[in-house]
Amino acid sequence: MSGTLTIPANELGPPAASLRPSRVRISASSPAEPVVYCEGPRVYFRPLELEDEPLLRRWINDPVNRRYLLHRPPLNAAREREFIESQGKTAADYTFGVVAKQGDRLIGSAGLHRVDPVNRSAVLGICIGEHAAKGRGYGRETVRLLLQFAFEELNLNRVELSVLAENWRAIRTYQKVGFVQEGCARQAHYRGGHYVDEYRFALLRSDWAERYAADSPRNGESD
Ligand SMILES: CC(C)(COP(=O)(O)OP(=O)(O)OC[C@H]1O[C@@H](n2cnc3c(N)ncnc32)[C@H](O)[C@@H]1OP(=O)(O)O)[C@@H](O)C(=O)NCCC(=O)NCCS
């Protein structure tokens, strides 16, 4: 498939049988075939569509997801549609639908926000909203694919993010792909009856190159 971004399988650690790349097949003559913006071995990114609105609204309002997201207010259908319709209008924001190739299911959304053309930086956001899809490596692959897009397609130099100190699943994901903790805003959020620290992480293009340039299959993954 030409024109798509693909994480080589050898950059994802030793592939289990189920992790082997299985390319999404596209036939230009069939409108029913998936729309693929870029792809990894097990997920691909596509534009968000208005038809996705009910799922996205469910995920963003879900108490379990919301506990870890920095966004607080409830989002109704009108606001969610507005968000989807705003996509693609500016080069400062790239939000994708994340689709698991297995079953061709939308499992979440992820993106690069506040893309700064002068400082060559952006803020990464991710929500694997479907609970059944969590803890199965999709989050890590999604972050890797976003980073590859950030550095190799948008020519960024820095990708940063904020994460609640209680969000161990996310922290583990970011650390695994090489994000470095740069700071801690103490008691920055109030959640579940107590204050929670906010950690700031970032990954530079040089970190990425150092970590993923070599050919070793295990390069880039540390336990
Ligand atoms: C955070 C999130 C992106 C992680 O994606 P995921 O697909 O669930 O995570 P993965 O399967 O890729 O796992 C990544 C790592 O976290 C670990 N992990 C999974 N569940 C965990 C848990 N409950 N506690 C601690 N670590 C956990 C995994 O074991 C894996 O580490 P390993 O390779 O050492 O085993 C996803 O769960 C999500 O979107 N959650 C809801 C919204 C959110 O928190 N967004 C991030 C806001 S900053």
Report the 10 Å Cβ neighbour count for 151: 22
Q: Whose CA is nearest to atom 27 of ligand 1?
A: 169
Cα 171 to averaged position of ligand 1 atoms, centre (Å): 8
Name residue, tokens 């792809």. 39
Quote the pLDDT of residue 24: 57
Report the 10 Å Cβ neighbour count for 93: 17
pLDDT at 18 over 50: no
Residue 62, SS3 per DSSP: coil
d(CA 54, CA 73): 17
CATH number assigned to the domain with residue range 9-156, chosen from the 4 options 3.40.630.30, 3.80.30.20, 3.30.70.141, 3.40.50.20: 3.40.630.30
d(CA 144, CA 67): 24
Residue ranges around ligand 1 (CB below 6 Å)? 65, 68-69, 108, 126-128, 134-140, 163, 167-170, 172-173, 176
Q: What is the pTM of this model?
A: 0.85
Cα 139 to averaged position of ligand 1 atoms, centre (Å): 6
21-47 in b/e burial notation, b at 16+ Cβ within 10 A?
beebeeeeeeeeeeebbbbbbbbbbbe
d(CA 220, CA 192): 35
Tokens matching residue 195: 């204050």
Q: List Cβ neighbours of 220 (8 Å cut-off, separation of 6 or more).
A: 11, 13, 177, 178, 211, 212
Report the 10 Å Cβ neighbour count for 8: 13
Number of H-type helices and E-type strands within the chain: 6, 8
Cα 174 to averaged position of ligand 1 atoms, centre (Å): 9
Which atom from ligand 1 is nearest to the alpha carbon of 167? 44
What are the structural domain ranges in the chain?
A: 9-156
Read off the pLDDT of residues 65-123 as tens digits, 9 standing for 90 and up: 999 998 788 999 999 999 999 999 999 999 999 999 999 999 999 999 999 999 999 99
Read off the pLDDT of residues 31-75 as tens digits, 9 standing for 90 and up: 778 999 999 999 999 999 999 999 999 999 999 999 999 878 899
Q: List Cβ neighbours of 214 (8 Å cut-off, separation of 6 or more).
A: none
